[in-house]
Amino acid sequence: TGKFTYDPGFLSTASCQSSITYIDGDKGELLYRGYPIEQLAVNCDFLETCYLLLNGELPNASEKAEFVGRVNKHTMVNEQMQFFLRGFRRDAHPMAVLTGLVGGMSAFYHDTTDITNPQHREIAAIRLIAKMPTLVAMAYKYSVGQPYIYPKNELSYTANFMRMMFGTPCEDYQPDDVLVRAMDRIFILHADHEQNASTSTVRLCGSSGTNPYAAIAAGVACLWGPAHGGANEACLNMLADIQQMGGVAKIGEFITKVKDKNSSVKLMGFGHRVYKNYDPRAKLMRETCHEVLGALGLENDPMFKLAMALEKIALEDEYFVARKLYPNVDFYSGIVQRAIGIPVSLFTAIFALARTVGWIAQLNEMISDPEYKIGRPRQLFTGAASRDVKPLAER
C-alpha cells in the first residue's frame, strides 16, 4: 500500500534503541556494555558478566559478593516443580520441558509477576538466573531416571551446575577446573547478542505487559529452532550423519549436497545474519575446544577430527567464500559440550540458561524506556478483497 515499509526478516529495521550489546558484523566485533567479548571471556566469570549486562558496569569485589549472595539465595526451585516435571514423558525434548518449566515459574512465583514493577522485575531476574541451572539439570536427571541433585551454594555458579548435572547421591562430582572454565565461557559467550530472534521475541512478548517468566519462556521457545539456538544440536547431528556416511572421506559429497540449489541441506554451525567476516565468539570457542579436548586426551576423537576437516574444506570452498559463510559459535560449542559429557539434546537448553540474563536485561531496558509501546508490526495484505458470504447451500 506504500503506507508501511516492507522488510521481511527485519534485515534493515531497528526495532529499538539499546545500550546493552554492540555488534559490528564486518569487523567481527562484539561488546557487552562497551567491553570486548575477548576481554570478558578471559578476565571475568559468568556472574560478573550477568551483573554487567543487568547494571551496565562490572561489579567491584563487594558488589560481586553481594550479587553472588543474592543469586545463591534463589538457586533451589519450589519443591512442587518436580511434580510438574514428572508430568512430562521421560523422553521429552529438554527444550519442550524447559519451555514448560520456565513458563510455569509464573505460577510458582506469582509474587513477582508485575512486569511494570521494578522490584518484581529485579527479583524475577535473580530468580530466573539462579534457577535456570537447577531446572536444566533437573530436566536432564529426569530424562536419565536419576535423582535430582540439590544446588550447593559454596560452589561457583558453573561448578554448581556441573555438579547438579553429573553428581549422584552416591558419588559426589568433583568438577575439573578446565571443564568448569570451558562451561563458564560458553555461558559468557552466549549471554547476550542484541536483537536476535529470541531476544526480539522476549521484547515483543513482554511489551504486552505479560509477566517476566512468560516472556522468558517465549524466548526459550524461539531459541529452540535450528536456525537459532538449535544450531549447536543440529551441528552435532550433522557431524554424526557424515560420520555414519563414512567420515572425512565423505565431506566432499556432503558439501556438494549443501551447495545444490535444489537441496535444503545447510552446513549447520556456519553462517550468521550479522557476522560476515568471522564470529568473534567462534574464535574464542575454538580455543576452548582445543583446551578441553587436550585436557581430556580427546585430540584424536573422530568427531572432532571430522569437524576440523569440514571446517578447513568449507573455508576454502568458493561457495562459502562468496557468501561470506564462516563457522559460528555453535560450530565449536557443541563439540566442547559433547566432550564435557553433555548429551546433544541438552545443548540448546544450556544456551537458554546462558541467554536468560540477556533476555532479562533487554526486557528491563524496554520497560524502562519512556518511549516503550506494545510491539505491533503492520503487514502488506495480499489476500482477497471484501466479498459476500454465500449461504452454505450455495457454496
Please report, as ranges, the residues that interact with ligand CMC according to CB under 6 A. Answer: 193, 196, 227-229, 231, 258, 266-273, 323, 325, 328-330
Shortest Å distance, C-beta 351 to ligand CMC: 8
CB of 253 to ligand CMC, least distance (A): 15
Smallest distance from ligand CMC to CB 354, Å: 11
- Count CB-CB contacts under 10 A for residue 97: 23
Cell of 141: 536427571
Residue 186 beta carbon to ligand CMC: minimum distance, rounded to whole angstroms: 12
Distance CA 80, CA 187 (A): 28
Active-site residue 190, yes or no? no
What distances in angstroms separate CA 17 from CA 21, 33, 357, 372, one per listed residue? 11, 14, 18, 10
Tell the burial category of 353 from Cβ atoms under 10 Å away from its Cβ (0-12, 13-18, 19+): buried
Task: Kindly tell me which of 261 and 390 has the beta carbon lying closer to ligand CMC.
Answer: 261
Q: C-beta of 246: minimal distance to ligand CMC in Å? A: 21
Beta pairing class for 35-36 and 29-32: antiparallel
Degrees to nearest 5, angle at CA 177 with 173 and 181: 115
Q: Which is nearer to ligand CMC, 47 or 325 (CB)?
A: 325
Specify the residue, 126 or 357, whose C-beta has the smaller distance to ligand CMC.
357
144 CB contacts (<8 Å, ≥6 apart)?
none
From the CB of residue 374, how many other CB atoms can be counted at a distance below 10 Å? 9
Query: What is the smallest separation between the CB atom of 247 and ligand CMC, expressed in angstroms?
Result: 20
Please, which residue, 131 or 190, has the CB nearer to ligand CMC? 190
CA distance 212 to 258: 40
The alpha carbon of 24 is separated from its chain's Cα centroid by a whole number of angstroms, namely: 20
Residue 270's φ and ψ, nearest 5 degrees, are -120, 145
Give the residue at shortest CB distance from ligand CMC: 271
Instruction: Give the nearest distance from C-beta 229 to ligand CMC in angstroms.
Output: 5
Decide whether 267 or 284 has the Cβ nearer to ligand CMC.
267
- The vertex-268 CA angle with 263 and 273, nearest 5°, equals 95
Non-local (6+) Cβ contacts of 384 within 8 A are none
- Close Cβ partners of 114 (under 8 Å, ≥ 6 residues apart): 120, 211
Annotated catalytic residue, options 45, 190, 272, 279: 272
Residue with cell 495480499: 382
Residue 330 vs 365, nearer CB to ligand CMC: 330
Going by C-alpha positions, the residue among 223, 236, 192, 219 that lies closest to residue 345 is 236
User: What CA–CA distance (Å, rounded) separates 360 from 350?
Assistant: 16
Closest C-alpha to 167, from 151, 181, 179, 156: 151
Considering the complex, what minimum distance in angstroms separates the CB of residue 43 from ligand CMC? 24
Say whether 272 is catalytic.
yes
Nearer to ligand CMC, 149 or 303 (CB): 303
Query: Based on CB atoms, which residue is closest to ligand CMC, 141 or 272?
Result: 272
Write down the catalytic residue from 184, 192, 279, 330.
Answer: 330
Query: Catalytic site residues?
Result: 272, 330
